Each structure stands twice: as structure tokens, then as C-alpha cells.
């Protein structure tokens, strides 16, 4: 099994149970030195897509999943790795038990553009249901869309 750090919409445990049914939630943590942003608006979806970029002093709330080998291909297909939409990247996640290596999906597009109100609402709802701190969720809800 490998450790996956889910952010944005993938924080929703119900969604992840459909995308990776053999992969249990391990816990939550923070990507220190990263920030949540949006990009890829030109890709034809309803607004820009969530991604992360390095940003000293920032943090992104994540849910950690033990991804079973049988779910890795499914996750890659869902995130459009084969189409060049997202790529996998290794990061270090800060947890109560210390730092752990994990992988994330990072958008292969320039930062910029606004998410749709619906998508941003789903991202904030997913963060709230995953146990993100109230101030983190409120900052998500106040973002422009």
C-alpha cells in the first residue's frame, strides 16, 4: 500500500470510497509550505480545477488514505494522469505522529482562473466533513468564484 494525501474534493470520504473502495482512510494532516489554488480553467470544465503549489508559510489540510495497489490505477484514471491533466508527486505530510511521505495529484496547468461556485462549495463541504478546522473551511467558502 502507498499513502495518498487527498485535498479539495477528494477529502470527501464517500467520494473516495467510490474511487478507491479498497483503500481505508488513515487520518488527517497538513501539507506545510503548500497552498490550495486553482488552474486549468482552459481545459473546458466548469471553471478552474483545484491543485496545490509550494508557498512558504501556507498549509493545506489533507486526508490520508492507504491506497491499495488495486485502486492506484483507478485513482490515476479518475485524476486524468494518462491524459496529462494531473501528475503524481511525492510530498511530506505533517501528522500528529510526525511527518510521513505521501503522494498527491498536482495539476499540469498554470495557476489561475476561478472555480465555479458549485465546485468551490463542494471543496469546502468536503474539507468540513473531513474535520478541517472551522477557520480553514471559512477561508475556502470566502474565496472568489
Instruction: From the candidates 79, 100, 111, 128, give the one annotated as an active-site residue.
Output: 79
The answer to whether 79 is a known catalytic residue is yes
The answer for residues whose C-beta is within 8 angstroms of residue 82's C-beta and 6 or more apart is 76
Picking from 128, 105, 106, the residue whose alpha carbon sits closest to that of residue 11 is 128
Distance from C-alpha of 145 to C-alpha of 141, rounded to nearest angstrom: 10
Q: Is 119 annotated as a binding residue?
A: yes
| CA–CA distance, 122 with 118 (Å, rounded to integer) | 6
Q: Could you list the active site residues?
A: 79
Cite the annotated binding site for substrate by residue number: 119
Cite the annotated binding site by residue number: 119
Amino acid at each position: 500500500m502507498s499513502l495518498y494525501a487527498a485535498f479539495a474534493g477528494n477529502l470527501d470520504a464517500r467520494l473516495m470510497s467510490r474511487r478507491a473502495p479498497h483503500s481505508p482512510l488513515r487520518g488527517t494532516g497538513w501539507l506545510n509550505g503548500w497552498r490550495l489554488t486553482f488552474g486549468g480553467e482552459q481545459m473546458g470544465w466548469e471553471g478552474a480545477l483545484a491543485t496545490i503549489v509550494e508557498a512558504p508559510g501556507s498549509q493545506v489540510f489533507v486526508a490520508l488514505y492507504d491506497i491499495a495497489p488495486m485502486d492506484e490505477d483507478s485513482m490515476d484514471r479518475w485524476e486524468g494522469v494518462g491524459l496529462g491533466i494531473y501528475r503524481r508527486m511525492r510530498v511530506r505530510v505533517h501528522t500528529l505522529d510526525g511527518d510521513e511521505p505521501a503522494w498527491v495529484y498536482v495539476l499540469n496547468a498554470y495557476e489561475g482562473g476561478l472555480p465555479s461556485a458549485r465546485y468551490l462549495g463542494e471543496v469546502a463541504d468536503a474539507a468540513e466533513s473531513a474535520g478541517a478546522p472551522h477557520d480553514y473551511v471559512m477561508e475556502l467558502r470566502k474565496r472568489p468564484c
